[in-house]
Structure 1
Amino acid sequence: MIFGRVKPLDAILATAEKKSLHRSLGAFQLTMLGIGAVIGTGIFVLTATAAQKAGPGMMLSFAVAGLVCAFAALCYSELSSMVPVAGSAYTYSYAVMGELMAWLVGWALILEYALGASAVAVGWSGHIVGLLDSLGVHLPHALSVGPKIELGFIKGGEVGGIVNLPAVLIVGLVTWLLVIGTKESATVNAVLVAIKVAALILFVAVTVPMISGHASNFHPFTPRGWGNPFGSEGVGVLGAAASIFFAYVGFDAVSTAAEETKNPQRNVPIGLIGSLLICTIFYMLVAGGAIGSYGAQPLMNPATGKYFVEGSPELYASAACHSATAPLVCSKEALAYVMRQVSTPWLGDIVGLAATLALPSVVLLMMYGQTRIFFVMARDGLLPRKLSTVHPRFKTPWVVTIMTGGVAALFSAFLPVSSLADYSNSGTLFAFAVVSLGVMILRVKDPSRPRPFRTPLVWVFAPLAIIGCIVLFMSLNAESKGVFFGWTAIGLVFYFLYGFRHSNVARGVVDGDEDDDITAVQH
């Protein structure tokens, strides 16, 4: 039976037991790790999207998304401390809820990682184009944005666009780096984290003091209301929270470090909640600074009397977006743009340069995460074995890396960042909800199994995490929900045509060695 195909937890744990990681991380180190992993892409890229959806109310959106993420993070930590091996939510689901659910989670994670990488690449493109424009170098519009397209649920692009060439080039570069096995050193990563955090501190220091002189920028505070989770527009405070959720992805860096943590019962929740709390406050300060210094009211179409759709061709083609003092919602590099408008151009260039330097590393990490999931699924037999092929010279999973790069490049070439982030979030929210459900199921099925970290008040926080993920998922626009369900349907077809018959569990092949090949890969 499909639902009886559970990958034995003991076989998975046999892999973890082969590792002997030194427990050295304390609460402070975990908190810093979380801050470095979380702050970046979303705040630099999606502030304009949030402003068009919620106006000044996007400050509340950051708080809502951070709260839901905190609930999910506590659940994630329990499973990651019990099953500290490759595969993330996919592996946890396989051990707790069986093969079909594991497949659905793994398939959804493709949306999270591959399209997340595409979203970051498009965000990087906006920053490099804006930075070059500020320096007097102008890339043709047709080669910096995708064309206007409407293919079923997938819509986006701009009038006059052909292909987002910078986004494609950065994905190609990252794919090449992953194939040859070049990885970021801890030192380089630390420097990039410091650069992006310093840029945000600079932004807050310049813009927050301006709030007192521009109180009117906060009125109306929620021009589009709280939003309707059962509607199709995906706007308002909840709609913006569903998009902004992208800005918090990365906290799993804390939860997956559970087995390297001293006293994980105490330090993991401190690291998780501490990093998420600091990031949420940071995000709200940045949003408040942007609103107070320049304004963040959503833009309305004067011809129809209705608000523009965020990131739409109509928005970017409007007269307001072509003025010298275009609203925040028109910018593809929101924070750098605000700094140029309210301060001096060179300060805006510093913020833009910081994002330009830091965002490629996020593309790399997301694409690496995707190749890791693909690799484990192929090793489990759910995907063709060929995908797990390791390059004879570079010792990297080159087939899945090139395939992932191709998908990421394709979507980054033609779609706007707002759409890509929402598509990515739909997969992430599904995976987080399943993990939260898995924690409760395992508490009932196997209550005596050792848990280095136990989710506090699990029967409160896990249901709240699931409810929060559902509310945010429903608050996405109809386009994003349609992409998720369409993608899931394609995944089910593929599973029953291939994975159902070829999986290791179906063939009775069960062992604890699958991670050996992964650790042999340079990463």
Structure 2
Amino acid sequence: MTQSLWQQLTRTKTADAEAEGAHGGSGELGRSLNLFALVMLGVGATIGTGIFFAMAEAVPKAGPAVVWSFVLAGVAAALTALCYAELASSIPASGSAYSYTYVSMGELVAYIVGACLLLEYALAASATSIGWSEYLNNFLTNSVGWSIPEALRSPMIVRGEAGMEIHAGHINLPPIILVAMCCFLLLRGARESAAINAVMVLIKVGILLFFAVVAFTAFNPSNFVPFNPFGLSGTDDAGNKIGIVAAAGTIFFSFIGLDTVATAGAEVKNPKRNVPLGIMLALLIVVTAYILICVAAMGAQPAAAFKDQEAGLAVILQNVMQAKWPAVLLSAGAVISVFSVTLVTIYGQTRILFAIGRDGLIPKAFQSVSPRTLAPVVNTVFVCVIVGLIGGFVDSGYLWDMVSMGTLVAFSLVSVGVIVMRYKAPNLERGFKLPFGPWVIPGLSVAVCLFIVKDLPTETYRVFFIWMAVALTGYFAYGIRHSRLAQGKKRP
């Protein structure tokens, strides 16, 4: 029977079909990850981005009150993490928010969420790889006295005071090298990548604890005065958004690692227990670490010193101890840390592409996996090429807010999905169930996300809507006709 357009846009899958969809055929992902590896994926994809780089962007917007920006972003992430935990415990699939909304709200909403996630992950991986370049250069300068030539560590497309600037002959080579190394590891399979990531995460946490201890020895309360110079929300003389909420929007991307935990749902042992538990444990570690490091950093130097500061935490250590070796140690830790962030972020995007490809909404090549390593080869190479090009040629100033936009929209729709599923499938087996009924926590999650997103720059909205227009064109030109639900097919 021919479906109406509305029926096509709102067609859904059952939770059981989605949970089983990533297994049982030629395109099968293996369940090889335990709870510890899963938590390390979440922490690895999260700790590093906001702390190592975003303070240079966020502190000028909020001053010392950036501490509250981290708290606000953490509250939004915690509320959404609870929503993720409920959906992940009942729909343990590889597509994260995409898969959850396909079951709860239908194909079109799922496709929109998928587009948000692809934007979020690609730009997040690119932005972190750019930050890796800064700390690599700091490490080389302080350890062996050699700096990467400016033309080989600065992008061609730069955000200047007068707008976009083109620096012909420039390329940021380190991000391209980093992404190539991540590609090599990911092609070897999830288990090997997760093991290497776990080691890097433990090193990163140790280095950040070392930073906190040293920075607190130079703690100066006067650095927090005035504490909140720009208020909750406002604009500066140039019309740019400033204040606690604006800074929270800038750093919110640093919580996307929680979503990465959910993208691994099809490769986790006992997913109905381990995915929600992994999300909550990762969140607890991340929020604690962020606030600790933020307070230590703000106490060690004035807020004005953060503006445009390259490899900021390493510089703070060098200034506090009046020696190079602490900066060398932290830069080495950052090089390892950001490697793990980029690795896991690219991993997450390849799994989302895999889920969308399995549903027929993008070409079949994206659903194929290597019979030997069970890694999605085409996805991995495709994502790494895109991420490498953006990281090599684009200024990171264009990327942070775009990542937050994609994250906040996806998080909001996941929260709505919890409400829908409670009414649509009240008897669905849930390994974790939100307290206070179906409305309170999801409603608060959506409200906080929208509160943050309203203060993102106008330019971010413009680029986001252009991207969504491109994505929807792809859906109506290809996806709506090739969808497996449209063809009455089960996943392979």
Rounded to whole Å, the distance in 2 between the matches of 1:262 and 1:97 is 22
Q: Name the CA shift for 1:371/1:471 in 2 (closer, same or farther; >3 Å).
A: same
- Say if 1:376 and 1:119 are closer, same or farther in 2 by CA, change over 3 A: same
2:459 corresponds in structure 1 to: 479
1:116 positional shift: 1.0
Q: CA deviation at 1:410?
A: 1.8
Aligned residue number for residue 246 of structure 2: 239
Q: Does 1:421 align with 2:427?
A: no
Q: CA deviation at 1:456?
A: 1.5
8 A contact 2:257–2:345 mirrored in 1:
no
Q: 2:283 aligns with which of 276, 279, 304?
A: 276
Deviation of the 1:243 alpha carbon:
1.6
Q: 2:471 pairs with 491, 495, 512, which one?
A: 491
Ranges in structure 2 where 5+ consecutive residues have no aligned partner: 1-6
Q: Give the alignment of 1:21-36 within 5 angstroms.
A: 35=43
Q: How does 1:400-415 map to 2 (within 5 A)?
A: 400-415=379-394
TM-score (norm 2): 0.87
Q: Which residue of 1 aligns with 2:216?
A: 208
Q: Which moved more, 1:279-288 or 1:135-144?
A: 279-288
Distance in 2 of aligned mates of 1:185 and 1:31: 14
Is 1:121 the counterpart of 2:129? The answer is yes
Given the superposition, is the C-alpha separation of residues 400 and 37 from structure 1 closer, same or farther in structure 2, using an over 3 Å criterion? Answer: closer
Corresponding letter in the other structure for 2:154: V
Using the alignment, how far apart are the partners of 2:249 and 2:196 within structure 1?
Answer: 31
State whether structure 2 residue 154 is matched by structure 1 residue 145. yes
Residue in 2 aligned with 1:290? 297
For residue 93 of structure 2, the aligned residue among 62, 65, 85 is: 85
Q: After the TM superposition, which residues 265-344 of structure 1 pair with which residues of structure 2 at under 5 Å, given as runs?
A: 272-273=279-280, 275-297=282-304, 327-343=305-321, 344=323
**Take 1:436 and 1:373, find their aligned partners in 2: how far apart are those partners?**
18
Matched, 1:8 2:17: no
Q: CA deviation at 1:92?
A: 0.9
Q: Given the superposition, is the C-alpha separation of residues 29 and 119 from structure 1 closer, same or farther in structure 2, using an over 3 Å criterion? A: closer
Q: Which moved more, 1:272-281 or 1:122-131?
A: 272-281
Counterpart Cα distance in 2 of 1:351 and 1:4:
50
Q: Hey, what does 1:306 align to over in structure 2?
A: none
- Compute the displacement of 1:137 (Å): 0.6
Alpha-carbon offset, residue 99 of structure 1 = 0.7
**Do the aligned residues in 1 keep the contact of 2:40 with 2:197 (CA within 8 Å)?**
no
- Determine the structure 2 residue equivalent to 1:398: 377
Aligned-residue Cα RMSD (Å) equals: 3.2
Q: Which moved more, 1:93-102 or 1:328-337?
A: 328-337
Look up the match of 2:360.
Answer: 381
Q: Is the 8 A contact 2:369 2:377 kept in 1?
A: yes
CA contact (8 A) 2:32 2:190 kept: no
Aligned residues: 474
The 1:270/1:41 distance shift into structure 2, 3 A limit, reads same
CA drift of 1:387 comes to: 3.1
Matched, 1:365 2:374: no
Unaligned runs of 5+ in 1: 298-326, 514-523
Deviation at 1:183, TM superposition (A): 5.7
Q: Distance in 2 between matches of 1:376 and 1:262?
A: 16
Give the drift of 1:485. 1.3
2:51 corresponds to 1:43: yes
Cα deviation 1:464-488 (Å, max 9, x = unaligned): 1111111222222122222211111
Task: Give the direction of change, closer, same or farther, for the CA distance of 1:24–1:166 in structure 2 (3 Å limit).
Answer: closer
| Distance change (3 Å), C-alpha of 1:182 and 1:430 | closer
Asked if the contact 2:183/2:384 (under 8 Å) is kept, the reply is yes
**Relative to structure 1, is the Cα distance of residues 502 and 34 closer, same or farther in structure 2, using a 3 angstrom cutoff?**
closer
Alpha-carbon distance in structure 2 between the residues aligned to 1:23 and 1:394? 14
Q: What is the match of residue 198 of structure 1?
A: 206
Counterparts in 2 of 1:45 and 1:422: CA distance versus 1, 3 Å:
same
Letter paired with 1:281: T
The correspondence for 1:455, drawn from 420, 434, 439, is: 434
Greater shift after overlay, 67-76 or 402-411? 402-411
SS of the residue corresponding to residue 210 of structure 1 reads coil
Corresponding residue for residue 308 of structure 1: none
Identify the residue that residue 447 of structure 2 maps to in structure 1. 467
CA offsets per residue over residues 418-458 of structure 1, 9 Å max, x none? 43222112111111111100000111111111111111223
Contact 1:111 1:426 in 2 (8 A): no
Render the CA deviation track for 1:291-343: whole Å, top value 9, x for unaligned.
Answer: 2211123xxxxxxxxxxxxxxxxxxxxxxxxxxxxx22222311111111222
Cα distance, 1:32–1:367 mapped onto 2, change above 3 Å: closer
Give the Cα separation in 1 of the matches to 2:454 and 2:85.
25
Query: What is the aligned counterpart of 2:410 among 431, 434, 444?
Result: 431
- Per-residue deviation at 1:8? 2.9
Distance 1:177 1:186 in 2: 10
Q: Distance in 1 between matches of 2:186 and 2:30?
A: 26
1:148/1:161 contact within 8 Å kept: no
2:158 touches 2:165 (CA, 8 Å); kept in 1? yes
Q: Give the Å deviation of 1:242.
A: 1.0
Counterpart contact for 1:328–1:338, Cα < 8 Å: no
Instruction: Give the aligned residue type for 2:357.
Output: A
Q: Structure 1 residues 179 and 24, CA, compared in 2 at 3 Å: closer, same or farther?
A: closer
The Cα of 1:186 is off from its aligned counterpart by 5.0
Alignment of 1:501-512 (within 5 A): 501-511=481-491
Q: Contact conserved, 1:127 with 1:356, CA < 8 A, in 2?
A: yes
- Give the CA deviation at 1:105: 0.7
Contact preservation (8 Å) 1:473, 1:481:
no
